[in-house]
Structure 1
Amino acid sequence: MNIIETENKAPLKTVSSSIGHLLLDMGKITEKDAERILKFQKEKSMRFGEAALALGFVSIEDINQALSYQFDYPYITPDKASFNTGLIAAFDPFSKQVESLRSLRTQLILRWFERGFKTIAVSSAREADGASLLASNLAVVFSQLGERTLLIDANLRDPSQHKLFKLNNHHGLSDILVGRASTDVVVRIPSLLNLSILTAGATPPNPQELLNKDALDDLLNSFAEHYDVIIIDTSPLLQSSDAQIVAKKVGGVLISTLQNITTLKDTQEAYEACRSLGIDVQVALNAG
């Protein structure tokens, strides 16, 4: 058992600063604002961002966010987004909690993805063990690394990724598997550049049968041609066989555990249930 602690605008051609381009693309300033900033910048011999701050067009948070895009490390501010604040990797990327997530990301790269795999399932023993939040935050930190990342909600019994990212869930994975939708229902997250989400879709009466379909294998193989990392959120291991079905298809599972909540007995039982099927298992210890 491996334990891991754990709408676009065309920018002005006259805006030479990449910060200026980013602020325009982010909708923080208008083209008219940019013209005034450029004039003030030239008069005062200062950087574009400093001029924009001095004129009151943007805040220091706006500048920091633009810098994060400039250095390929996007994040968002809680007051400017509709995401659930549990997505700490998106809102507070320099916190100790997210540093632990980055360490987990590194361990997964070394122990799983560098072995040639692109897809991993994320599950837990029980519902309260934090698998969905772990999956979503891991997807964010992989996207921040510059990896084309797809997060799939395969918890067809009690999906939550659409709630965390505040997305429409009218069509998703279940609809693709029965031929009622295409991969066009995958949603790109503009504020997180390299992150895309496939929600669970309509709740089916037969989740195990759907996940057992060859259509899921075909879908994952197709996604692997377009994404570097695919993270699949699944239902709890000890509450149904859904997670084992998905994990068996992709070869590996990351089991989320929460300090003072997840019992050793449950963790061991979930681990053994997967290993008996030949599934590679990683375990993430989360402070909660």
Structure 2
Amino acid sequence: MNINTSPSPKMAQRILAENFSGASETLIAPLAETIVRLGRMSAEDAARVEDARNKTQMPFGRTAVRMGLLSKADLQYALGVQLGFLHETNNPVIIPQLLAVANNPYSKTAEQFRSMRTHLLAGRDPKDLNLFAITDADERCGADFIAANLAASFTQLGKRVALVDARLRKPTLGKIFAADASEGVSNFVAGGASVENVVHPTLIKNLDLTPAGVSVADAQTILASQRFSSLLNALRNNYEIVIVLSPAFGESTDVEFVWAAAEKAIIVVRKDHSRVDTLRSIEKAARRSGGLIIGATFTN
């Protein structure tokens, strides 16, 4: 994705006001100051870029990249810090490409996640969204992509969010966030690890990840256990929103145990791929597990 470094002032003001609680009310804080503070560019080079920008009337970030003084990755990171939803660090940072709301916050994809977030919150008690699962209707519908970006979009409202990878057979969230995945769900349930040991910070402010953990032979026993439910309850008591990425429907019966523990679910349906009879089966399975389907979203 190519980041849009020059949104219209009206668009930038609207996005900031409506979607980024950690950002200043305007974009007047120069991007150059953020880039220099983060150690991505010297003050001398920033002055050179500013001189060139005044001649070309191009945005500072785009000018710096064209001059070879700033990488696109550092520009994306500095913009995320300026908007207030990425942690500051002087270490090299590459925002994962799949995190559209952080990688390209002005993109159509990021806007779609903010719209999805708004629809979920509209007319609903926030407590009803305290804990829910996200499930593929069948394999490769993109539930991991949806879960990661929806979680990140909620943090942009200042909410504390926990993301849990319950795909014990095929974990994905640790890779998406390039996070420490050595201890997670399986370590808590089967290994006796503490909640603190299986919750890991991510690059995104207010978003913590509990990965799947070490590989286990019997994922179903883990997900059906009282320890798994107690993990979700502990997270629910400490975060405003807990999102659980479940196994895909039809892949195994694991998903029903996740629904039972999470109580609510959003189904990810792939356009021209997911079958109507599969959706009917999902509805029956949700009722059987005691889970409530609170919504569905489509992917291409």
Q: Which TM-score tier does this pair reach, normalised by the shorter chain?
A: 0.7 to 0.9
Alignment of 1:65-84 (within 5 A): 66=78, 68-74=80-86, 81=94, 83=96
For the 8 Å contact 1:73–1:145, the answer to whether it is kept is no
- Cα 1:268–1:92, aligned 2, differ >3 Å: closer, same or farther? farther
Is the aligned partner of 1:152 residue 2:142?
no
State the 1:197 CA deviation. Answer: 1.2
Is the aligned partner of 1:214 residue 2:226?
yes
Alignment of 1:95-244 (within 5 A): 95-110=107-122, 114-182=126-194, 183-190=196-203, 192-244=204-256
| Cα distance in structure 2, aligned partners of 1:105 and 1:221 | 22
Query: In the alignment, what sits opposite 2:51?
Result: none
| Cα distance in structure 1, aligned partners of 2:32 and 2:188 | 41
| Cα distance in structure 1, aligned partners of 2:211 and 2:131 | 16
Query: Alpha-carbon deviations, 1:29-68, whole Å to 9, x = none?
Result: 4xxx45x58999xxxxx9xx97x96x98657985675454
Q: Which runs of 5+ in 2 are unaligned?
A: 1-28, 49-53
Alignment of 1:7-26 (within 5 A): 22-23=34-35, 26=38
State the 1:120 CA deviation. Answer: 0.7
Instruction: Please give the secondary structure, in 2, of the residue aligned with 1:178.
Output: helix
| Cα distance in structure 2, aligned partners of 1:75 and 1:286 | 31
State the 1:113 CA deviation. Answer: 5.6
- Cα 1:198–1:58, aligned 2, differ >3 Å: closer, same or farther? same
AA partner of residue 133 (structure 2): A
Matched length: 260
State the 1:71 CA deviation. Answer: 3.7
For the 8 Å contact 2:130–2:242, the answer to whether it is kept is yes
TM-score by length of 1: 0.75
AA partner of residue 72 (structure 1): G
Q: Which runs of 5+ in 1 are unaligned?
A: 1-16, 41-45
Identical-residue share of aligned pairs (%) = 26
Query: In the alignment, what sits opposite 2:283?
Result: 271
